[in-house]
């Protein structure tokens, strides 16, 4: 990527408020690891934004709740006469034809489409955990460098991919619908480990009380967190805006409770996971290059003919 579309030029334009440049920059980060690498020194060492992960079962109302949280955050900024810049990363299912994001979540957030303070972008999951778990932190760093104070990261569901992505956020909100499964299924999904806040959405429907009770029981039986935080369980009706202010209050309470050394430790934990992923990806590429080399083919022939044992062959290849 060269000229006006070079990553560094796109970042410079994005910092000046060019939303088209920002969109192109995120596309480059999503599709080209080299582009992310090129701007990393500028984005990862710049200002820090605050990322809110929103995950939960499909149909729980995550997009509607996120839409309401955006509106609430902007209203509070207006009331305090403070500038606001809110970003949204929607991790969408991939299109089976193009491989791109289906963009279903963005349809539900059209109320903010013309608000210059809001930037909404979809990232395609493409069924690939490794690339996505790296692309999201890079995208968050780019948005922060471009001036976004808060970014919501909404994921498709509660599978391993989604939990991995949610873990990149500063705070993770897990959304479950009223009448949602039993507590054991939630525990298996790893929600206790990743959730900082539970929201029982569609609380005007039957089963809301039972869902909240199950979550509270899970928390009672679970191991206490080392940061002393107990995830609150709140109820909302996102379509009507009911309970959204309580969610915003809980997000701010968590942020205040996680300040200082606790926040630093969480950032180090996220950095550890990210570095482990990057090391694993680079090692995997090295293995692919080695397996495609003439040295590997020669070792295959020697092991196949009985001239060499496989362990000695591997020692020679790795060295």
CATH at 231: 3.40.50.300
Q: Which residue has the higher pLDDT, 70 or 97?
A: 70
172 and 236 part of one domain: yes
34 and 50 part of one domain: no
Give 24's pLDDT tier (boundaries 50, 70, 90).
very high
200 and 242 part of one domain: yes
List, in order, residues 6 or more apart from 66 with CB less than 8 Å away: 54, 88, 105, 109, 152, 154
Is the pLDDT at 112 greater than 60, yes or no? yes
Is residue 98 one of the residues assigned to a domain? Answer: yes
> φ and ψ at 174, to 5 degrees?
-100, 125
Taking residues 18-33, report their average pLDDT. Answer: 91
Is the pLDDT at 183 greater than 60, yes or no? no
Query: Which domain range does residue 201 map to?
Result: 46-259
103 and 18 part of one domain: no
Is the pLDDT at 212 greater than 60, yes or no? yes
Give 232's pLDDT tier (boundaries 50, 70, 90).
very high
CA distances from 254 to 77, 94, 173, 190, 288 (A): 18, 32, 11, 20, 43
234 and 284 part of one domain: no
Residue 151: closest CA among 164, 165, 139: 139
List, in order, residues 6 or more apart from 41 with CB less than 8 Å away: none
313 and 213 part of one domain: no
Query: What pLDDT score was predicted for residue 209?
Result: 92
Quote the CA–CA distance of 63 and 190 in Å, as a whole number: 21
53 and 152 part of one domain: yes
Query: What pLDDT score was predicted for residue 90?
Result: 87
134 and 9 part of one domain: no
97 and 210 part of one domain: yes
Taking residues 278-300, report their average pLDDT. Answer: 90
Is residue 271 one of the residues assigned to a domain? Answer: no
User: pTM for the full model?
Assistant: 0.84
The total of structural domains in the chain comes to 3
């Amino acid at each position: 990527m060269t000229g006006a579309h070079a990553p560094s030029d796109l970042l410079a334009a994005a910092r000046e408020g060019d939303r088209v440049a920002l969109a192109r920059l995120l596309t480059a980060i999503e599709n080209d690891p080299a582009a992310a690498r090129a701007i990393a020194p500028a984005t990862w060492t710049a200002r820090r934004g605050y990322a809110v992960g929103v995950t939960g079962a499909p149909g729980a109302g995550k997009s509607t709740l996120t839409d309401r949280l955006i509106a609430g955050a902007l209203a509070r900024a207006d009331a305090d006469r403070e500038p606001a810049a809110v970003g949204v990363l929607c991790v969408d299912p991939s299109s089976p034809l193009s491989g791109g994001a289906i963009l279903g979540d963005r349809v539900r957030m059209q109320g903010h489409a013309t608000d210059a303070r809001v930037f909404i972008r979809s990232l395609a999951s493409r069924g690939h955990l490794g690339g996505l778990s790296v692309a999201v932190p890079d995208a968050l760093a780019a948005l922060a460098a471009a001036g976004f104070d808060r970014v919501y990261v909404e994921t498709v569901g509660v599978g391993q991919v989604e939990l991995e992505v949610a873990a990149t956020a500063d705070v993770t909100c897990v959304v479950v619908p009223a009448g949602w499964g039993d507590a054991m299924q939630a525990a298996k999904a790893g929600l206790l480990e990743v959730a900082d806040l539970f929201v029982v959405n569609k609380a005007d429907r039957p089963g809301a009380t039972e869902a909240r009770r199950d979550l509270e029981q899970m928390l009672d039986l679970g191991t206490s967190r080392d940061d002393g935080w107990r995830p609150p369980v709140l109820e909302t009706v996102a379509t009507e805006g009911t309970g959204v202010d309580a969610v915003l209050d809980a997000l701010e309470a968590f942020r205040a409770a996680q300040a200082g050394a606790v926040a630093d430790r969480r950032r180090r934990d996220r950095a550890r996971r990210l570095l482990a992923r990057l090391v694993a990806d680079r090692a995997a590429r090295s293995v692919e290059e080695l397996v495609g080399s003439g040295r590997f083919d020669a070792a295959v022939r020697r092991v196949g003919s009985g001239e060499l044992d496989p362990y000695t062959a591997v020692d020679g290849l790795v060295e």
